[in-house]
A and B are shown apart, each in its own frame.
Chain A
C-alpha cells in the first residue's frame, strides 16, 4: 500500500494512541513527585517539545511536505508527540497543587514547564535545522527566512 493512500487522520490516530500510551506507562512507572512537582508530566512535556521542534524543522528544511515527510509529520509529529505531551493534565495538575496549599510549588511547576519547554523546543528547532541542512536529501540548502 502506498503511503499516499493512507488517510491523514489514520496516521494521527495511530500516532496519537501510541503517544498517549507511552505517557500513561511513564506516569504509571514514575508516579512520584519531587518538591511537590509531578516530574513525569514535566519531563514528558519538555522532552516532547524538544523532539517536536527538532522533527518539524528537520522535515521542513530537508524537503517538501509530501510522501514520507508528510506521513512522518502527521504520524510522529501531530500524532505521537501531540498525544505524548499534554496540556490538560499540566493545567489541572498545577491547579490541584495550588488548591492543596502549595501555591509556590504550583508556580514553580508552571514556570519550569513553560521556560524549559520553550528553551527545549528552540534548541530542538536549531538541531533539527542543522540535521536537515546537512542531510543528503536537502533540496533547499539556503538560509530560510522566518520559520513557517
Chain B
C-alpha cells in the first residue's frame, strides 16, 4: 500500500517537474537553464518544512513519507542538475557551470535549513 502510494506520488512529482520546467523554458530564453534550479529550491524548502512537521507529528508518518520520499523526491532531481552543470562546463560557460553545481547546493542548503527551522517552530 505504502509502496503503491510512493509510486503514484513520485509520478505526480515528476509530472509537476516536467510541466513546470516546460512552462519556464518557454519564457526563459537565456542559455543557462533556470527550471531545475527553481524546482530544486522549491522542493528543498518544502522538504525542510515537511521534516519539521514530521518531527513533531510522528503519527502522520505515512503521509509525510509519501509526500517527502514520493512527491518531493520525484519533483526534485539531482541527475538533471548535474547534466546541466556538465553541459555548461563543456560548452565553455565555466561560471554558469560553477553556479549550477555549487550555487545550487548552497541555495538549496539555505532553503532546506530555513524550511526546517520554520517547520519546527510553526508546527
What is A's interface to B at a CB cutoff of 8 Å?
Answer: 8-9, 12-21, 23-25, 27, 45, 48-49, 51-53, 56, 74, 78-79, 81-92, 94-96, 99, 110, 113-114, 117-118, 120-122, 125, 146-148
Question: Which residue of chain A is the closest to B15 with respect to CB atoms?
Answer: A13
Interface size on B, residues (CB 8 A): 52
Bound state CA distance, A85 and B82, in angstroms?
A: 11
Question: Which residue of chain A is the closest to B87 with respect to CB atoms?
Answer: A147
- Flag if B83 contacts A88 (CB, 8 Å): no
With A12-B15, A20-B13, A20-B69 as known contacts, state yes or no: A113 contacts B78, CB within 8 Å. Answer: yes
- Flag if A121 contacts B47 (CB, 8 Å): no
- Flag if A24 contacts B70 (CB, 8 Å): yes
- Flag if A92 contacts B13 (CB, 8 Å): no
- Flag if B77 contacts A82 (CB, 8 Å): yes
- Flag if A92 contacts B48 (CB, 8 Å): yes
Bound state CA distance, A9 and B82, in angstroms?
A: 23
Whether B53 sits at the interface, judged by CB under 8 Å, is no
Q: Is the interface of A mostly helix, strand, loop or mixed?
A: helix
Question: Which residue of chain B is the closest to A120 with respect to CB atoms?
Answer: B82
- Flag if B87 contacts A148 (CB, 8 Å): yes
Known contacts A81-B79, A82-B17, A88-B112; 8 further A-B pairs (Cβ under 8 A): A16-B13, A20-B69, A79-B11, A86-B72, A91-B47, A118-B82, A121-B79, A146-B91
With A88-B47, A110-B109 as known contacts, state yes or no: A118 contacts B101, CB within 8 Å. Answer: yes
Bound state CA distance, A90 and B51, in angstroms?
A: 13
Whether B9 sits at the interface, judged by CB under 8 Å, is yes
CB distance from B98 to the nearest CB of A (A): 11
With A13-B12, A88-B43, A122-B86 as known contacts, state yes or no: A24 contacts B113, CB within 8 Å. Answer: no
Q: Which of A16, A48, A87, A92 contacts B14, CB < 8 Å? A: A16
Question: Which residue of chain A is the closest to B71 with respect to CB atoms?
Answer: A20
